[in-house]
Amino acid sequence: MRRDLTAAAQALRIGAGQGLAGWTVLAGRCLFYVLIMTVLSALWDKVAAEPVAGAIPLPKGDLVLYVLATEWITLALPSVHLRFEDDIRSGGLEPHLLRPKFYLLQSLAQSLGGTLVRLAALGVTAVAWLAATGRAGPPPAAYPYLAVLGVLAVTVGMLLYATAGLCAFWARRILPFQLVIQKLMFLLGGLFAPISLYPDWLRKIGEVTPFAAHLYWAGIQALHPSGTMFLKAAAWQVLWIALLSLLCVALWRAGLAKVLREGGV
């Protein structure tokens, strides 16, 4: 067990190294973050500036900060689903199966390594963007909370995409699974707007899903920082990381059993 974790830590380091090695791509992603924030801030500024009769009231504070956090997480996510699809569908799995370490843990750790590097780079970009546009950011005390929730949030997101990727054992292309999961992240996780703005019944559904654990809880911390909310958010995230990990392991075992039984996918 301890050796498995050491190997996973090594994979995480390799992933982080790969993330840094592709620094041109990393820089491009940061630039992209700036672009999308420019658009989304235009959207929210427009809604705030031109209230329409009969519209629901906006929450207090700058909704742009909420979107800044959710996009920070979204853009840091790895394409772990593509990697699984590639490995499973192209027979790239076999060399991994010959090794004594658990493929799933190894590849997830490696993906997470790259993700953490992106998360850090995008976080710096977010702070720089706030400074450059002259917007007031969250209070400094909120940053440590945000850092913790951000790491947990990308882990939830990575595991969600991993479940999509593992569907490659049964489906030739996992794109529809990934897109459905992505849209559920956007919808029930509240990418553009906090789910608290939804009708009450939908908000209640959204809150208990892994999609909220992926985006909403970290986003709301940027909008309304609070210690209590932090604990609640972290609890939901840890719960979903545990459940999704179990789901991934179950999918992996079922898929592997299929491969061993049928000699391929």
Partner 1 sequence: MSAVITVKSLSKAYRYARRRGGFFEAFSPEHVIVEAVAGVDFEIGAGERVAIIGPNGAGKSTTLKMLSGILEPSSGEASVLGLTPWKQRKALAYKIGVVFGQRSQLWGELPARESFALLRHIYDQEAAPFAKRLGELTERFALADLLDQPVHRMSLGQRMRCEITASLLHGPNLLFLDEPTIGLDVTAKAAIRDFIREHARDHGQTVLLTSHDTRDIELVCDRVIVVNQGRIVVDQPTDQLRRRFLGRKIITFQSAGQGVSLDLPGVTRRASEAHATILEVDTRLTRVEQVIAAALADGGIEDVTIEDPPMEEVIAEIYASTHAA
Partner 2 sequence: MIGSLRLYAAQSAAAIRTSFSDRGNFAIQVGGMLLNDVFFLTLWVLFFAGFRSIGGWGLSDMALLFGLTMSVVGVSGVFFGGYRDMAATLLRGELDALLTQPKGLISRLLVRESIATAWGDLAGAVFVLAVFAKLSWSDLPVLLLGIAAGTTVYVSAAISFASLAFWAAGARSFARDLTDFTLLFSSYPGSIYQGAVKAIAFTILPAGFVVLAPMGMVRHPSGETLGLVAFGAVLHAGIAAALFNLGLARYRRGASPSM
Closer residue to partner 2 (CB): 13 or 183: 183
- Closest separation in Å from C-beta 112 to partner 2: 15
132 makes contact with partner 2 (CB under 8 A): no
Residue 175 vs 250, nearer CB to partner 2: 175
Which residue of 43, 229, 256, 259 would you call a contact of partner 2, by CB under 8 A?
A: 43
HEC sequence for 107-143: HHHHHHHHHHHHHHHHHHHHHHHHHHHCCCCCCCCHH
Q: Which of 67, 73, 193, 234 binds partner 2 (CB under 8 A)?
A: 193
Outline where 50-102 has alpha helix (H).
63-76, 80-89, 93-97
The Cα-based distances of 215 to 48, 204, 249 in angstroms read: 22, 15, 23
- Residue of 1, 52, 132, 136 that binds partner 2 (CB under 8 A): 52
Q: Of partner 2, partner 1, none, which one does residue 102 interact with (CB within 5 to 8 Å by kind)? A: none
- Calculate the CA dihedral of residues 8, 12, 15, 19 and round it to 10 degrees: 170
Q: Which stretch binds partner 2 (CB under 8 A): 49-57, 92-100, 127-135, 250-258?
A: 49-57
Q: Which is nearer to partner 1, 37 or 117 (CB)?
A: 117
Q: Could you tell me the smallest distance in angstroms from the CB atom of residue 21 to partner 2? A: 8
The smaller minimum CB distance to partner 1, of residues 21 and 257, is found at 21
| Residue 71 or 87 having the CB closest to partner 1 | 87
Asked if residue 177 binds partner 2 (CB under 8 A), the reply is yes
CA dist., res. 82 & res. 105, Å (int)? 16
What sections of the chain are H helices per DSSP?
2-21, 23-49, 63-76, 80-89, 93-97, 103-133, 142-166, 175-188, 200-207, 210-211, 217-223, 227-262
Smallest gap from residue 21 Cβ to partner 1 (A): 6
- Quote the least distance from Cβ 64 to partner 2, whole Å: 13
What is d(CA 43, CA 60) in angstroms, rounded to the nearest whole number?
Answer: 17
Separation of alpha carbons 243 and 95, rounded Å = 28
56 sits near partner 2 (criterion: CB under 8 A): yes
Number of residues that bind partner 2 (CB under 8 A): 45
Sorted by sequence, the CB contacts under 8 Å of residue 142 that are 6+ apart come out as 221, 222, 225
What span, in angstroms and rounded, lies between the C-alpha atoms of 77 and 181?
13
- 103 touches partner 2 (CB under 8 A): no
Where do contacts with partner 1 occur on this chain (CB under 8 A)? Answer: 20-21, 23
Binding site for partner 2 (CB under 8 A): 21-22, 24-26, 28-29, 32, 35-36, 38-39, 42-43, 46-47, 50, 52-56, 75, 78-79, 82, 171-173, 175-177, 179-180, 182-184, 186-187, 192-193, 197-199, 202
